[in-house]
Amino acid sequence: MKKCLLCLLVLCLPLTGCRYAGVLPYGREIEDMELIRTLGVDEAPAGVVITASGGDQEETRVVEGEADTISAAVLALQGGGDSYLYFGHVTQLLVGEGLAAQGVGPTLDYALRDVEMRLETTLYLVRGRAGAAIQEAAEEGSATERLEALAADAGLTAASMPRTAKDVLADLDRQGASFLPAVTGDGGLSAAGYGILKGDALAGWAQGDAALGVNLIFGKVDADVITVTAGDTTAALRVVGAKTDVRPRWDGGRLSGLDVTCRVEANIAEGAPMPHEATLAALTRALEKLEEGRMEQALALAASLDADYLALRPAAALAAPWRKSVLLGEQGLAGLELTARAEVTIQRSYHADG
């Protein structure tokens, strides 16, 4: 009987408001808390330096802490002000370029294990130091506001793709490589392509057409507008959809290459109406060539780094599940020939002649 009463007492402890051996944190009044929305992490002599910023206050306050681990640095921040800093609302986690070169594993582990952090937190790689970028952004608003605007515009510019801690952890576990959206290290925090991770360390950058090729391969082309010329005709084409198929190529029983085909749908956004099939076919070929070039740059980066950040092997395994063990047996791309092909369909939705 006494044993049953003891078990009941232990189960009821979380309901009493008391803290017992770290089961629950102390309860706090909302007015005594400051909600942190953006967290930056950089390398430091002692280990790491973190920079924390809110996004809902009238005046953005930025605080910094340094320690040998992120958890210790966060704890050190709690004694620096009157308010308790709450990290359960962090929506953006910025990693500085220097720390990324050393490895983002500890940062991802913190996002995975800390009781207040969430795996849905969006990750960014800063070209430079994350702390400096957050500090500069706070002078005219906040890093939170700027990055929220960037995420909202991502579908309109086809220049960036949001990635969460969960996405990157899954990639690294599955294919040993991943990518993060990169932003400039100034207060503008503008899109700057992608940083490529091999293992958990920064290995290279996808910029310009290579970054657009990444978006194309992943089908993130909601409103990419491209101007193409065929003969005497110039037209602005709006890419409205893309779907990629990866097929393995075999030499006997050996995997020799991966063929990446992207089926692209586009509409005529501007230019003279195109009633003639020959003109439309010429525009189609011109867009195919341009899109293939973007894909080739993204693939060339994967080959040169021997990093399957585009998840080509897992995609090929879906196409040939009976050879799954071979396709997923290695994480790299060394020795494989990667080919790109774009198949474009241009819809003629509007004609001035009815």
**Residue 13 to residue 24: CA distance in whole angstroms:** 10
Confidence of residue 34 (pLDDT cuts 50, 70, 90): confident
What proportion of the chain, given as a percentage, has pLDDT over 90? 57
Query: For residues 202 and 100, is the Cβ–Cβ distance under 8 A?
Result: yes
- pLDDT over 50 (residue 7): no
pLDDT (0 to 100) of residue 183: 94
pLDDT (0 to 100) of residue 59: 63
pLDDT (0 to 100) of residue 127: 95
**Residue 250 to residue 263: CA distance in whole angstroms:** 23
Q: Which two tokens stand for residue 103?
A: 């490895």
Query: For residues 298 and 217, is the Cβ–Cβ distance under 8 A?
Result: yes
Which residues lie closer than 8 Å to 50 by C-beta, 6 or more apart?
Answer: 39, 40, 41, 42, 64, 65, 66, 70, 73, 74, 77, 131
Strand segments (E) across the chain:
33-35, 38-44, 47-53, 62-67, 84-86, 92-96, 122-127, 177-184, 191-198, 201-206, 224-230, 233-251, 254-270, 337-347
Confidence of residue 333 (pLDDT cuts 50, 70, 90): very high
> What is the average pLDDT value for the chain, to the nearest integer?
85
